[in-house]
């Protein structure tokens, strides 16, 4: 079948089997290998991408389901060479160790901040509860998200 969708801001059209998983479409067809497969059953969140702004496990989505949607992968988050504030804060706070969960983790946090720019710590924990990380114990990740929220809020407030 033919599928049309927007991928990282660019219109795409592919011919694919409808049952191909979105993660395979991204990794094998578009060579967007920043999306990782950790479990294949929607438990670990390493394959998280944003579909119309929602954080979704791309191992549980089939190519036939994405017609007309907007997909954002980790490769599309930065604005060229300028990092997204979340990416910058992940670096500054030591929120990355092995880095395998990082793309999915950043995208889940990004979906949260788009909807809720001033989350509580519990809301941050909820938003990334579907993204497993074995290295960091999540603390520096949570700090990075908090700091980003703080920056967004101080930038958007009038003097």
Partner 1 sequence: MNKEFSVVGKPVIREDGIDKITGRAKFADDYKFPGMLHAVMLRIPSAHAKINSIDFSAVESDESLVSIITADDVHGAKKVGMIKNDQPIFCNEKVVTPGDVLAMLVGESEAKLHELVKKIKVDFTPLPLLIDPRKSLEPDAVLIHPEEGSNLIFHHPLRKGNIEKGFAESDFVLEQTYSTQLIEHSYLEPEAVVAIPLETSLGVKVIGSIQNPFTARRFVAEVLDFPLSKVRIQQAHLGGSFGGKDDIMCILSARAAIAAMKINRPVKIRYTREESILESYKRHPYVLNYKVGYNKSGKIQAMKIDILADGGAYASMSPFVTWRTVVQATGPYEIENVHTDVRAVYTNNPYTGAMRGFGSPQPIFAQESLMDEIAVRLSMTPDEIRKVNGYKSGSITATGQKLQNHEVNLLTVLETAEENTDFRKKWVENKKDKSQLIEYDFSSPIINETQFISPDRLIKKGIGLAVSFRGCSLGAEGTDAASAYISIQNDGSVYLDCGLAENGQGLRTTYSIIAAEVFGISIDQIIYLELDTGITPDSGPTVASRATLMGGGAVKATAEILRKRLEELMRNEWNLKSDDEIVFQNNQVLITNHQSPITFKDICKLAYQRGVSLATIGWYKSPSVGWDEHVGQGDAYFTYVYGCQVAEVRVNIATGEIYVDKVTAVHDAGKVINMLGAMGQVYGGVTQGAGYGIFEEVTTDKGFIRELNFDQYTIPTSKDIGEIDPIFVEGKDIYGPWGAKSLGEPTLELTASAISNAVYNAVGKRFFKLPLNLEEVLLSKKLRPEDLKRGSK
Nearer to partner 1, 1 or 39 (CB): 39
Residue among 67, 114, 118, 126 that touches partner 1 (CB under 8 A): 126
* 130 CB neighbour count, 10 Å cutoff: 17
Q: Which region among 36-44, 63-71, 112-120, 147-155 touches partner 1 (by CB under 8 A)?
A: 36-44
Q: Which region among 61-69, 83-91, 111-119, 147-155 touches partner 1 (by CB under 8 A)?
A: 83-91
Nearer to partner 1, 61 or 145 (CB): 145
Spatial separation of the C-alpha atoms in residues 130 and 132, rounded to whole Å: 6
Nearer to partner 1, 3 or 144 (CB): 144
CB-based contacts of 134: which residues, under 8 Å, 6+ apart? 98, 101
* 102 interacts with partner 1 by CB under 8 A: yes
In 18-132, the DSSP E strands lie at: 48-51, 54-57, 70-72
Shortest separation between residue 67's beta carbon and partner 1, angstroms: 24
Using the structure block, give the residue that is written with the tokens 């720019």.
117
Size of the site for partner 1 (CB under 8 A): 53
Shortest separation between residue 104's beta carbon and partner 1, angstroms: 9
Nearer to partner 1, 57 or 69 (CB): 57
**Parallel, antiparallel, or unpaired for β 48-51 and 70-72?**
antiparallel
Identify the sign of the CA torsion 79, 156, 91, 102: negative
Q: Taking CA 49 as the corner, what is the angle to CA 121 and CA 29, rounded to the nearest 5 degrees?
A: 160
**Residues at the interface with partner 1 (CB under 8 A):** 27, 32-41, 43-44, 46, 73-75, 77-78, 83, 87, 90-94, 96-103, 106, 124-126, 128-142
């Amino acid at each position: 079948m033919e599928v049309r969708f927007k991928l990282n801001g660019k219109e795409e059209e592919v011919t694919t089997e409808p049952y191909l998983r979105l993660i395979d479409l991204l990794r094998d067809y578009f060579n967007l290998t920043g999306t990782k497969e950790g479990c294949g059953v929607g438990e670990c969140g390493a394959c998280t991408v944003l579909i119309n702004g929602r954080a979704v496990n791309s191992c549980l989505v089939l190519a036939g389901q994405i017609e007309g949607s907007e997909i954002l992968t980790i490769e599309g988050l930065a604005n060229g060479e300028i990092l997204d504030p979340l990416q910058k804060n992940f670096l500054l706070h030591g929120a990355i160790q092995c880095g395998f969960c990082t793309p999915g983790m950043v995208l889940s946090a990004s979906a949260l901040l788009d909807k809720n720019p001033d989350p509580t710590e519990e809301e941050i924990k909820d938003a990334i509860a579907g993204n497993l990380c074995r290295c960091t114990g999540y603390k520096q990740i949570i700090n990075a998200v908090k700091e980003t929220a703080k920056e967004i809020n101080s930038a958007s407030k009038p003097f």
